[in-house]
Amino acid sequence: MKALYIASTGMSAQERNVEVISNNIANMRTTGYKRQRAEFQDLLYQQITRAGSQTSDQGTMVPAGLEIGSGVRTVATPRVMSQGSVNMTERELDVAIRGEGFFMIQLPDGRTGYTRDGSFERSADGTLVNSSGYVVDPGITVPGDARGVSISPEGTVEAYIGTDTAPTQLGQLQLARFVNKSGLESMGDNLFLETAASGPAQVSLPNADGAGDLLQNYLELANVNSVTEIADLIAAQRAYEMNARVISGADQMMQATSQLR
Amino acid sequence: MIGNAQLISLSRQIALQRQMDVVAHNVANINTTGFKAEQILFEQYEMPVARDRTFPNLDQPLAYVQDWATIHDLSGGAMVQTGNELDIALNGNGFLAVQTPAGERWTRAGSLQIDNAGTLVDLSGNPVLGNGGPIQFGPDESGITIAPDGSIASSAGAKGQLRIVEFANPQALVREGSNLFSGGTPGANAGTRVMQGHIEKSNVSGVSEMAELIRVTRAYESIASLTQKQDELRRSAIQRLGDTNA
């Protein structure tokens, strides 16, 4: 009985769907989180009669074929890279990106991580780091006696040093863009990694080449919409139940068969 | 006589099992973007010679059940707003044309992506075709907009128009899996509109599939009990006839 196996593909697909939705909901308050969506495709078809096959010597043919599908599979969980809403935090080292683009973070293993989470801190020696303590690329050092650090929409970091009356430029933040943002690999900790599918990072200054500009004192919230997620959750749960119902229906048919004698 | 009745029941049971497979496939794809539900059609297959010799002048043809075709239910699915600029839903009877290694295929699943070379692709990585071939985006382009007529623009200007095809006889399309259809004679777009930022959900109706499921299981059970009764009939016939002769 194929129906049993078909319905089981449906149940496992909906299970995945619920996993993706629950991860979205769990990260509703994660800075810079981008929601994911499970995408499904139908599986191969068994062609019992092919449409267009001949039914007589006079050239008449079958107008529609007889095809039995074999279920569903999860094909991708692409991230929806839309802008999250920005929230004022009044911390001078909080930066939100308005537009495309990612901050670059030097990972301890030498690779570069990409993130939309702009809640930066100063390390013990004044280096600008992310909340895991990894250095924000390119390294910018804010001296201990710096006052009034300002980050311009173009990424210029300036501060008044000591008793200076004119600001000193401390460094320049850069942003990375990707041709295919959905192809980035998620490594957790709000970080993404470049992959063959995402294409190489294109580093540019903020507000140039479509990279988006920066907003100091703000953080980008997750782009998870709770109402949509709950609606999706209900749909997934009901779909799961219906697939389970198909399994018990198929079981009932097999029971009717097995009780014959 | 009884043998025929059992074979006819069997033909119906096999048909019902196939129908169950179709219901299962529809329900499994209830959340698949752009999926179109299937329905299975049956016809009677008449055997000209009934081997019933009891009534010499009244031979009846035997009617077996044969599954004949699956038809595509091509009604529109629910449009869901996603806000993703590369999600498109087709409002109308058209299909998007995609280029696969095996040739052109048609799909209603409009959750598109841009691959690492900047080509607009579907979720299997097949390029989505515009009127002049695949649609390319440069690395520094942003703000992609897709108009209702399928024309695409970005920060770098117009990028072409999506090739949307319609079919005079969409039932001739063959399902390939992976949300793709093949075959048919593609015609020009007559009235299909593209909605950016939306996806089309599957048009499978949970209620009607569940009703179908119940109908199929009940019909199967009643035929199983019919088979059982025929068997009992034959058994008791053999027993009684055997007793008489003994």
Q: Where are the domains of chain A?
A: 2-50+60-80+224-260, 86-220
A83 to chain B: which residues are within 8 Å by CB? Answer: none
pLDDT tens, position by position, B187-236: 988 889 999 999 999 999 999 999 999 999 999 999 999 988 888 988 89
Strand partners, B1: none
Q: Would you call B185 an interface residue with chain A, using a CB distance cutoff of 8 Å?
A: no
Inspect the interface and report whether the beta carbons of B179 and A100 lie closer than 8 Å. no
Residue A199, pLDDT score = 86
* Signed CA dihedral, A179, A183, A185, A186: sign only: positive
Inspect the interface and report whether the beta carbons of A64 and B141 lie closer than 8 Å. no
Instruction: Compare all CA atoms of chain B with the CA of A246 and give the residue at the minimum distance.
Output: B24
Dist. CA A85–CA A65, nearest whole Å:
50
| Among B14-23, B55-64, B75-84, the least confident range | B55-64
Å between A10 CA and nearest CA of chain B: 4
ipTM for the predicted complex comes to 0.82
No. of helices (H) and no. of strands (E), chain B: 2, 19
pLDDT at B245 over 70: no
For strands A72-76 and A39-42, give the pairing.
antiparallel
pLDDT at B115 over 60: yes
pLDDT at B1 over 60: no
Split at pLDDT 50, 70, 90, the class of B121 is very high
R_g of chain A computed on alpha carbons = 27
Dist. CA B1–CA A48, nearest whole Å:
30
A245 to chain B: which residues are within 8 Å by CB? Answer: 27, 210, 213
pLDDT at B117 over 90: no
Average pLDDT, chain A: 90
* Signed CA dihedral, A79, A82, A87, A91: sign only: positive
pLDDT tens, position by position, B97-109: 999 999 999 999 9
Q: Which of B21, B72, B141 sits opposite A68 (nearest CB)?
A: B21
Inspect the interface and report whether the beta carbons of B30 and A245 lie closer than 8 Å. no
Q: What is the mean pLDDT of residues B59-64?
A: 76
Q: Would you call B214 an interface residue with chain A, using a CB distance cutoff of 8 Å?
A: yes
pLDDT tens, position by position, A17-58: 999 999 999 999 999 999 999 999 999 998 887 777 777 788
Inspect the interface and report whether the beta carbons of A72 and B29 lie closer than 8 Å. yes
Residue A148, pLDDT score = 86
pLDDT at B51 over 60: no
Split at pLDDT 50, 70, 90, the class of B95 is very high
For strands B198-200 and B129-130, give the pairing.
unpaired
Residue B65, pLDDT score = 85
3-state class of A1 per DSSP? Answer: coil
Query: Among all chains, which residue has been given the structure tokens 């695949």?
Result: B134
**Stated pTM of the model:** 0.86
| Residue of A5, A11, A41 for testing the chain B interface, max B β-carbons within 10 Å | A41
B39 to chain A: which residues are within 8 Å by CB? Answer: none
pLDDT at A165 over 90: no
| Residue of B18, B20, B22, B25 for testing the chain A interface, max A β-carbons within 10 Å | B25
Residue B56, pLDDT score = 62
Q: Which of A3, A51, A67 sits opposite B24 (nearest CB)?
A: A3
| Among A99-113, B45-59, B201-215, the least confident range | B45-59
Q: Would you call B182 an interface residue with chain A, using a CB distance cutoff of 8 Å?
A: no
Residue B3, pLDDT score = 65
Residue A216, pLDDT score = 93
CA geometry: angle A207, A209, A214, nearest 5 deg: 20
Split at pLDDT 50, 70, 90, the class of A146 is confident
Residue B36, pLDDT score = 93
B38 to chain A: which residues are within 8 Å by CB? Answer: 67, 69
Share of chain A above pLDDT 90, in %: 61
